[in-house]
Structures are given as structure tokens and as C-alpha cells.
Amino acid sequence: KEVLLEVEDLRIYFELGRQKVAKAVDGVSFTIHKGETVALVGESGSGKSITSLSIMRLVPMPPGKLVSGSVKLNDREILTLPEKKMREVRGNEIGMIFQEPMTSLDPVFTIGNQIMESLLHHQGLKRKEAKNKAIDLLKLVGIANAEKVVDEYPHQLSGGMRQRVMIAIAMSNNPKLLIADEPTTALDVTVQAQILKLMLKMKEEFNSSILLITHDMGVVAETADRVLVMYGGQIVEEAAVKELFLNPKHPYTKALLKTMPSLDQNVDRLPSIPGSVPPAHSFPQGCRFAERCEFAFDQCKQQLPELINVTDAHKARCHLYSGFGGGSIV
């Protein structure tokens, strides 16, 4: 399969003051192939959003600092592109959807104008053509009365409808990569499922790839081909979606999977993993999950594990697999 995006040894640190550095993204490497949906999963504070923002070069620097790394889109390095060129990449080659209502559309412009803005800017269409294309895009994202909605304002639409509009805008220039950061987190469960289905449909329609950022393993199960699990600014496990769910290796992934509601469970109260993600300015010397890990042993506190191949296409960052073993069989 052809590689679309290649991220290598990405490190984004934040200077928080004297002697205080937050290692928000700390040596992250992964690839996304053409046509693939890759989920980046972890609790909040694990570094997923900064990872996605840095691919789009939207991390404010300073206070952020690119310490190392390379991000190649179709073999072209984008971390060193001049800002003007980068703006073209963001409009044409990478589409973005964020959590509603954070993304929110501009309240003072009609839906049509907001979709057209990107079309006029990047495709040089005439106004009439752009408006027709906006209507087509609204239909494509499942908005039935598109001719009417195109002249409406964001507050006249439901959250789910607004997110459909955001998807229309993100896809308006046929991007090769769609980055979606918690796109359904703020929506009702039934609407969530519709939006996820729509994203996958758009991916097929436009022949693009998706990087989906989420904390929800249910969303991962429904959408992803491959999964990257992030913790403490690093990837701690990587596998195809089926393999990850059937055969999780890292204790953190196992704990995350336990937080998934099963169908017969009362969803009111989800179990969560005891403890919290260590702050990025004071990672422990050893394994960053050690404080919360039920399998931790001596070596874990002393040495940061490497991300290693457990089997051919399955990686984990855990001493249980790196030869120390700690005597446990997992």
C-alpha cells in the first residue's frame, strides 16, 4: 500500500518557564497509507491533539517548540514549508474537523458563504458556480433541503447538522487527508453514529485517508483500520484494529478497553482507569504508565521502554515484551 503521510520522530515541547519543559509530543512516528483510516487514541492529556495540530502546523510557536521530527505528505516535507505554502496545503491537501461546537462556524455568515469561501479561495470558481457546488456538497453530506440550508445561519441548525456542514467544508477541496479531532464527542449517540458513517462515506467518495483522534474505543472499533494508542506524549501500542481489540498487549490499552461499555451494560457510568495521565512537564524516569499499571515491576520505574515489534505488525512499548518480562505472563 502507498504511503500518504509519514511522521518521524516528532517532538513538540512547550517551555513553561525556567527549567520547566512540557514534552507534549515526545518522539512520535507513524505512517498513514492511502485510503486508510487510522485512529489516534488515548485519554485527554496524552498528546493526541498536539500531534494532529502539529501535522497541520497549527501549534503556536512559541510557546511550542519543534525539537525534532519530519512530517511528509506524499513525500513532501511540510514542517519546513513557508507559511504561505502551508496555507495551501491546509486548504487543499488536508481537511480538518474538530469537536463541535469548538470548531463552530462563524455565526454571522450563512452556511453557503462559509462553504463558498474555501471554494472561491482555492478553486477560483465564480460565485454562482461556487454556490451550486456548495449546495451539491450539502446534499452529499446528507442535508436534504440543501437549497434552503445554504442560506441559513449556523444557529438555525442542530449540532449534528453543523457537523455535517463542517465535513462539507473539510471535503470541499478534495483533500487527501482528513484530520478529525473528537468529531462526535459533543453529539448524541445516534447522531454520532451517523456522522462517523458519513466520514467513512466521504473518505470513499473522495478517495482520501483519515486520521481520527478520539478517546472513545467504541468509535475506534466502528471506524479505524489501524490504531495508534498514545500515552505520555508517546505511542505505546500500534496494531490493526481487529488485532488490537482481540489481542491487546499494552496494559494501558487493556485498561482503555475495559472502559468500553458492552451492549448489556448500563452506560450511565463508565468505568475509568484509576489515576491520571502524568503531566508532560514531570514524566517519571521509567515507564510513563507505571503509576497506574497493575503489571508494573522493578524495571518499569527505572527504564523507559522502547516501542518494539511484539509480532510482525503489532508494536508495544512495555517491558513485559522487551526481554525483562518481570516474570509475568500476559
- Which residues contact Mg ion by CB under 5 A? 49
Q: Which is nearer to ligand SF4, 123 or 303 (CB)?
A: 303
**Of 167, 186, 187, 165, nearest in space to 178 by CA:** 167
**Of 137, 257, 143, 117, nearest in space to 195 by CA:** 143
**Of 97, 32, 175, nearest in space to 40 by CA:** 32
Cell numbers at 309, concatenated? 515489534
177 within 8 A of 4, measured Cβ to Cβ: yes
3-class SS at 39?
strand
- How near is the Cβ of 309 to ligand SF4 at its closest, in Å? 16
Q: Which is nearer to ligand SF4, 96 or 287 (CB)?
A: 287
C-alpha span between 76 and 236 (Å, rounded): 27
Binding segment (CB under 6 A) for ligand SF4, from list 4-12, 104-112, 118-126, 294-302: 294-302
User: Is residue 138 near ligand SF4 by the rule CB under 6 A?
Assistant: no
Whose cell is 515489534? That residue is: 309
Binding segment (CB under 6 A) for ligand SF4, from list 10-18, 111-119, 208-216, 286-294: 286-294
**Of 38, 49, 97, nearest in space to 220 by CA:** 38
Tell me how many degrees the CA angle 31-211-239 measures, rounded to the nearest 5: 55
User: Is residue 278 near ligand SF4 by the rule CB under 6 A?
Assistant: no
C-alpha span between 322 and 1 (Å, rounded): 29
Binding segment (CB under 6 A) for ligand SF4, from list 185-193, 213-221, 237-245, 313-321: 313-321
CA distance to 53, 106, 166, 197, 307, per residue, from 102 (Å): 14, 11, 11, 21, 33
User: Is residue 319 near ligand SF4 by the rule CB under 6 A?
Assistant: yes
- How near is the Cβ of 223 to Mg ion at its closest, in Å? 17
User: Is residue 206 near ligand SF4 by the rule CB under 6 A?
Assistant: no
Cell numbers at 244, concatenated? 488490537
User: Is residue 256 near ligand SF4 by the rule CB under 6 A?
Assistant: no
- How near is the Cβ of 185 to Mg ion at its closest, in Å? 9
The residue from 7, 244, 305, 307 that contacts ligand SF4 (CB under 6 A) is 305
User: Is residue 231 near ligand SF4 by the rule CB under 6 A?
Assistant: no
The residue from 289, 307, 310, 315 that contacts ligand SF4 (CB under 6 A) is 289
Q: Which is nearer to ligand SF4, 245 or 295 (CB)?
A: 295
User: Is residue 318 near ligand SF4 by the rule CB under 6 A?
Assistant: yes
Q: Would you mind telling me the total number of residues written for the chain in this entry?
A: 330
User: If contact means CB under 5 to 8 A according to the sort of partner, which of Mg ion, ligand SF4, none does residue 295 touch?
Assistant: ligand SF4
